[in-house]
């Protein structure tokens, strides 16, 4: 056989070790030099189908010995590779985690979460040039990954706003996911299932009562927004919707840095500072709850981050002078 160099007159029993037979015969048998070889229809060792080769079919560029050696090498190389692949795949199959079956209810809940994510993603900062379709896909992927890892929390409106700045900065899903996941450890309590929002609004009411009696008394007279719900979005998103991206990066870094040096709730002073920036307009127009919400919605992304931060620092200093002993 030109494939495995087995003499055509040798009978091979089924019980013979084929590998050792091929090696032994290969060492002791040489192929005669000829321009054409006639072979059986199938090899008794490898069982590979053969065709009859005539002188016309024989290629002068390839000697029979070379062809036989090539076939023999390829055949047994394939056998060895198959054996190795089978051996390697066994521990991998043993280590593979068992399949998880989800109930119809779980599938339905997950579908609802994805639907809520999809609705928010397409509306996220549509005027900002970064959020083109390809980057909206990244935004969706990160949110879906977070919700999958925190199924007890699920998706809540506003998460998209907190994630977007990280994606703009890193333009990479893994880094954005890591930062967003860490931020949510702090911000999650501001969402409806947490207890922090009522505390934030109550503290703002007290701080404004101490620092600006005129504005506080106006709110008391109107009586319909003494709970400061107009500032709900400010605390929920750390003023994300109130500032441009360039200003937001500065403000967020200041909030995070303040935790290391003065207060864990610098957002409280920023929110109060935002009211103080427009106190004259609020007082002159005796704004009620509806008017002040409309005013700040119209002023979104038009505030000065420099003035906002300066006012917040002044409020921190004023409160420290009142509380700390001289």
**Is the pLDDT confidence value at 39 over 70?**
no
d(CA 258, CA 252): 10
- Looking at the whole model, is its pTM more than 0.85? no
Which residues, in sequence order, are CB contacts of 50 under 8 Å at separation 6+? 1, 2, 3, 39, 40, 41, 42, 43
Q: Judge whether 140 and 117 are in contact, CB under 8 Å.
A: yes
pLDDT for 37 beyond 60: no
Mean pLDDT of all residues belonging to the chain = 78
Q: What is the mean pLDDT of residues 43-50?
A: 49
Name the least confident of 76-80, 174-178, 223-227, 301-305: 76-80
Q: Read off the pLDDT of each residue in 226-230 and give the average, rounded to a whole number.
A: 79
Q: What percent of the chain has pLDDT over 90?
A: 55
Q: What is the mean pLDDT of residues 216-234?
A: 80
pLDDT value at position 326? Answer: 58
pLDDT in tens, 302-317: 999 999 999 999 999 9
Predicted confidence (pLDDT) per residue in 109-128, tens digit: 999 999 999 999 999 998 89
Decide if pLDDT at 233 tops 80. Answer: yes
Of 157 and 55, the structure prediction assigns the larger pLDDT to 157
Q: How far apart are CA 301 and CA 213, in angstroms?
A: 28
Please report the pLDDT score of residue 56 as a whole number: 43
> Is residue 139 pLDDT above 50, yes or no?
yes
Residue 38 has pLDDT above 70, yes or no: no
Which of 4, 39, 3 has its CA nearest to residue 18? Answer: 4
The Cα–Cα gap between 303 and 244 comes to 9
- In three-state secondary structure terms, 106 is helix
pLDDT at 103: 86
pLDDT value for 223:
62
């Amino acid at each position: 056989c030109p494939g495995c160099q087995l003499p055509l007159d040798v009978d091979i029993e089924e019980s013979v070790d084929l590998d050792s037979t091929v090696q032994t015969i290969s060492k002791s048998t040489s192929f005669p030099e000829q321009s054409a070889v006639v072979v059986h229809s199938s090899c008794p060792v490898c069982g590979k189908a053969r065709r009859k080769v005539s002188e016309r079919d024989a290629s002068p560029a390839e000697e029979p010995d070379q062809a036989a050696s090539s076939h023999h090498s390829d055949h047994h190389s394939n056998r060895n590779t198959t054996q190795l692949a089978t051996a390697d795949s066994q521990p991998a199959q043993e280590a593979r985690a068992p399949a998880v079956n989800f109930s119809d209810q779980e599938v339905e809940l997950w579908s609802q979460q994805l639907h809520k994510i999809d609705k928010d993603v397409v509306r996220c900062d549509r005027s900002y040039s970064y959020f083109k379709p390809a980057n909206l896909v990244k935004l969706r992927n990160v949110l879906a990954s977070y919700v999958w890892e925190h199924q007890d929390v699920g998706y809540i409106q506003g998460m998209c706003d907190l994630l977007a700045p990280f994606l703009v900065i890193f333009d990479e899903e893994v880094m954005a996911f890591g930062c967003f996941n860490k931020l949510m450890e702090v911000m999650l309590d501001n969402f409806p299932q947490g207890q922090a929002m009522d505390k934030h609004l109550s503290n703002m009411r007290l701080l404004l009562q101490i620092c600006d009696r005129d504005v506080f008394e106006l709110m008391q007279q109107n009586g319909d927004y003494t709970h400061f719900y107009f500032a709900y979005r400010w605390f929920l998103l750390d003023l994300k919707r109130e500032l441009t991206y360039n200003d937001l990066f500065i403000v967020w870094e200041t909030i995070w840095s303040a935790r290391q040096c003065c207060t864990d709730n610098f957002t409280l002073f920023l929110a109060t500072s935002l009211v103080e920036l427009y106190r004259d307009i609020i007082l002159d127009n005796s704004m009620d709850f509806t008017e002040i919400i409309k005013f700040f919605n119209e002023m979104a992304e038009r505030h000065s981050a420099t003035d906002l931060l300066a006012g917040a620092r002044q409020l921190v200093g004023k409160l420290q002078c009142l509380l700390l002993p001289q």
